Amino acid sequence: MKSLASLALVLFLAGCEGRHNWLAGAGEEARSVETLFWVLLAGAAVIWTLVIGAATYAHRAEAKPEREQEARRFIIWGGVALPVLVVGGLLIWGLLILRDITADDGALTVRVDGERWWWRVIYDTPEGPVTTANEIRLPLGERALFRLTADDVIHSFWVPALGGKMDMIPGRETTLALTPRELGNWGGLCAEFCGGAHALMRFDAIVMEPEAFDAWLAHEAQPAQVAEGDAGFAVFDEEGCGACHTIRGTEAQGPVGPDLTHLASRDKLGAGIYDMTADNMARWITDTHEMKPDIDMPAYPGLQGERLDALVTFLMSLE
């Protein structure tokens, strides 16, 4: 029994390690949820002890009719008034936290659309929207407001170490603020079952120094640099990839899949699941559904040899 309990504890704590640790306290909002959690846990322990104590006492004590009145008072205060006060207080506190983490006053606004099974990410800047995908970068110490929606089914946006989570609902907008307090690459994921590749719907949430972030965003806003007559772009064009994907600065303006303008500047490929390497890129194109089952991109098993090499070289140059 004891070893079972310690095994359960080890498993529980193992789940807290690493970049998805919601107790890492890497964001302001995660810290307020964490405080709520510890207060709830400690409060529950105190109440449990009191209830068990009272039950034990009641079991052992002799029934005395003259103490009837006292017992009734105990039930009314301890069993009705106290729970109403405690639960009401927690409700108000929880609603205040919710108001804080959804309030519409971010210095930075990022729109994220949940798609099956990837993330469309749009930074609203004074110069206009900047579209990217599957990776979110945030400046350290600045409050970013996320405006969330979904394309066709419900998803849930969650960066455990920074804060959250929040449902993404088709046809509606929900908001969530994140104020990062620690540099790092904190993982994000979809926390609402959304179909086949749900478990492979992830993203990187990279917290950077503010100057580095500004430089990154300015670079993302630029169109791609594609040389006239690039052999890889020719393959991209001939295969019809541009029907679904956009590469800003070229004729490829497809709205269906992730924006590829600065694909190779992302850390990961395929919505946070593979390292961004030429090998993975080639397999993504030829063995698409082995790499990620169920996705809405067709596989191109016939694309081999020089044409595949040229296409991969081109895609890996989109920094």
Exactly one of 257, 261, 262, 318 binds ligand HEC (CB under 6 A); that residue is 257
Sequence-separated (6 or more) residues with CB below 8 Å from residue 47? 86
At 143, is the secondary structure helix, strand, or coil?
Answer: coil
Residue for token pair 């809405």: 296
Give per-residue burial for 243-272: e unless 16+ CB within 10 Å, then b: ebbbbbebebeeeebbbbbbbeebebbbbb
CA dihedral (175, 92, 75, 72) positive or negative: negative
> Does residue number 256 form part of the binding site for ligand HEC (CB under 6 A)?
yes
> Does residue number 262 form part of the binding site for ligand HEC (CB under 6 A)?
no
| Residues between 119 and 138 with contacts to ligand HEC, criterion CB under 6 A | 133-134
User: What is the smallest separation between the CB atom of 254 and ligand HEC, expressed in angstroms?
Assistant: 7
Residue for token pair 């409700």: 91
Q: State the binding partner of 257 from Cu ion, ligand HEC, none, CB within 5 to 8 A by kind.
A: ligand HEC
Neighbours of 280 (CB within 10 A): 17
How far is the C-alpha of 254 from the C-alpha of 146, rounded, in Å?
24
> Does residue number 248 form part of the binding site for ligand HEC (CB under 6 A)?
no
Report the residue number, 178 or 241, with the smaller CB distance to ligand HEC: 241
Q: Interface with ligand HEC by CB under 6 A: which range of 12-20, 35-43, 153-161, 266-274?
A: 266-274
Exactly one of 30, 121, 189, 297 binds ligand HEC (CB under 6 A); that residue is 297
User: What is the smallest separation between the CB atom of 263 and ligand HEC, expressed in angstroms?
Assistant: 6
Report the residue number, 167 or 239, with the smaller CB distance to ligand HEC: 239
Q: Interface with ligand HEC by CB under 6 A: which range of 46-54, 61-69, 225-233, 257-265?
A: 257-265
Strand 184-190 versus strand 155-159 pairing type:
antiparallel
| Residues between 163 and 192 with contacts to ligand HEC, criterion CB under 6 A | none
Query: What are the backbone angles phi and psi of residue 180, rounded to the nearest 5°?
Result: -70, 140
Q: Which residues contact ligand HEC by CB under 6 A?
A: 117-118, 133-134, 197, 236, 239-241, 243-245, 256-258, 263, 269-271, 284-285, 292, 295-298, 300, 311, 315
